[in-house]
Amino acid sequence: MDLRLYVSKRHDLKDHSPAYYIRFAVVDLDRSQSYPLNFVCMLPQSMGGDGKPSSVFSKVFGTDGLELAKSLLTKASKAEDDSEIKAEIEKRLKMLEPKPAVQVECRVCGSSFEPKSRGRLKAKVCQECIRKKGSTLGITNPVSSSQFFKLFLWHV
């Protein structure tokens, strides 16, 4: 399979939408040299990180899909001349990079930890400090008590 990206830029000025759409189609040049005949699938904007195939691209290429998408996008960025298409390719390459884990400094002890979100709010106190504070107040399992968690964050 000789896979490449076919990039199309459609100008569409309907319904307050952007002035153009950029679409990336994965084509196989071994099938044919013209676009509709060599179409394999569309390149998705983001890859599903949960392991389930979220698109036709993931179903066709499986676990090798992420590396294939990166290589196709880097080849296309070298060959492309249009600045808007190059910007879109760079944006998609950046979206394929793994995001680093967010580290927050504890308000009580100063150690860094990975916060767990509680609804819209993220924890600002580490689990060890919550357990220490809970044991001094006589609460056996402070993590499961949302009222204690809220009160503890207000008093720190």
pTM of structure: 0.61
Cα torsion for 112, 116, 121, 122, to the nearest 10°?
A: 10
**In angstroms, how far is CA 108 from the centroid of its own chain?**
32
Report the DSSP pairing between strands 20-28 and 117-118: unpaired
Bigger pLDDT: 123 vs 156:
123
27-81 residue pLDDT tens: 888 888 888 788 888 888 877 655 555 688 888 888 888 888 899 999 999 988 8
Give the CA angle between residues 123, 127, 133 to the nearest 5°. 105
96-120 residue pLDDT tens: 887 777 788 888 888 888 887 666 6
pLDDT of residue 66: 84
- Specify the DSSP class assigned to residue 15: T
CB distance 125 to 105 below 8 Å: no
CB distance 44 to 55 below 8 Å: yes
Q: Which helix (H) or strand (E) holds 126?
A: none
